[in-house]
Amino acid sequence: MKIKDKFPNYTPSLMFYIRDKNPVLCSNDSILYAYFIPLANFKKGFDYYELKPHKSGGVYFSLATMIGFRTILTTESRLFQNDISEREWAQVIGEITTTHFLREEYRALSRGYVKKGGGCFSTVLLTFFFGILLFTVSYIKIAG
């Protein structure tokens, strides 16, 4: 059964927030119910409004901002086991979108900045490089 059919009050509430932004339905099945909206200042940037299933049988609302295949930030709601009223969904969506759009990463993104961090891989690579360098220097001192 599709998520949309299990939680019928969600769609009207979501459309209340995104209808005027030309949303595009990108998934409507039992795994994910999602719309995306292109970002104005990034050619390959999108905000994804998703209703995702949880292994417990419930769902949660998620708002993710992506540029290309890279997730910039994600904000998620609590878990819902049953459908709630349209008014309650509107409140949940409103709280999550407000939190998401006020986060520092999103505000920087709206001004055209994208964090260019090397992340964990760069840290591991640098640690490995300096470890080998330290080992080599120690080995030369012992051998020499």
Task: Indicate if 36 and 101 belong to the same structural domain.
Answer: yes
Task: Indicate if 17 and 54 belong to the same structural domain.
Answer: yes
Model pTM score: 0.77
Domain count of the chain? 2
Give which of 70, 2, 65 is closest to 32, Cα–Cα: 2
> Distance between CA atoms of 35 and 71, rounded to whole angstroms?
16
Task: Indicate if 26 and 85 belong to the same structural domain.
Answer: yes
User: What confidence tens digit (pLDDT) does each residue in 38-96 have?
Assistant: 998 888 899 999 999 999 889 999 999 999 999 999 999 999 999 999 999 999 999 99
> CB-based contacts of 78: which residues, under 8 Å, 6+ apart?
60
- Domain residues for the domain of 123 are 116-144
Helix (H, G, I), strand (E, B) or coil at 27: strand
